[in-house]
Amino acid sequence: MPDDGGAGSLRENLRFHIQDKNEKGVQVDLAYDGDSNLRKQIDKLQKQVRIRRVFKFDRDFESAFPAEMLVAAVTAYLKHFKDAAIEVSVEGVDEMLKHRKPFVQVEARYEVSIKKPHLGKLLAIELLKMSDRDHRRIERSGIDCAQNCPAFYGL
């Protein structure tokens, strides 16, 4: 059997996870980093499970956000999981985003392992804060802020 660098086991784990969601009646949208090798696996996966939509980030999840939002989310993450005194700068985030694997830079610099689900929640909070300042940006996204936003703020 050829060595696929773990892609087969990743696809199997993802398939089981999506299959479980399908069986529970949950519609699955799949987003993935453009710098990953998952694109090669998507076609096979879609033949095995129901995926409503697939979205590929040009590069990766993190670089899809403006630097100011990343600064706020990364700072909040580091304050919560590492050191309450840490502050991250826009210049630091801009420098980090120049690298192929931007969050490896943060992990090395601050000696922390970043869990993307936690960071994703913090980015969602920053997005919702932005929507409070400028409701037009989120109005057409399909999110009902009157109903859903208070739950995010409680994270």
Q: Encode pLDDT of 88-126 as tens digits.
A: 888 888 888 888 777 788 888 888 888 888 888 998 888
- Confidence band for 28, pLDDT divided at 50, 70 and 90: very high
Domain assignment present for residue 93? The answer is yes
Do 131 and 84 lie in one domain? The reply is yes
Do 86 and 42 lie in one domain? The reply is no
Domain assignment present for residue 75? The answer is yes
Tell me what pLDDT residue 148 has: 46
Do 115 and 42 lie in one domain? The reply is no
Do 107 and 120 lie in one domain? The reply is yes
Do 26 and 81 lie in one domain? The reply is no
**Alpha carbons 42 and 45: distance in angstroms, whole number:** 5
The highest-confidence range among 16-25, 103-112, 123-132, by mean pLDDT, is 16-25
Please give the tally of structural domains in the chain: 2
Domain assignment present for residue 2? The answer is no
Domain assignment present for residue 80? The answer is yes
Q: Which domain holds residue 35?
A: 7-57
Do 78 and 16 lie in one domain? The reply is no
Tell me what pLDDT residue 136 has: 52
Do 14 and 27 lie in one domain? The reply is yes
**Alpha carbons 152 and 37: distance in angstroms, whole number:** 31
**Alpha carbons 23 and 2: distance in angstroms, whole number:** 32
CA distances from 70 to 61, 63, 106 (A): 11, 8, 12
Do 121 and 142 lie in one domain? The reply is yes
Do 16 and 32 lie in one domain? The reply is yes
Do 51 and 75 lie in one domain? The reply is no
Contact 56, 36 (CB under 8 A): no
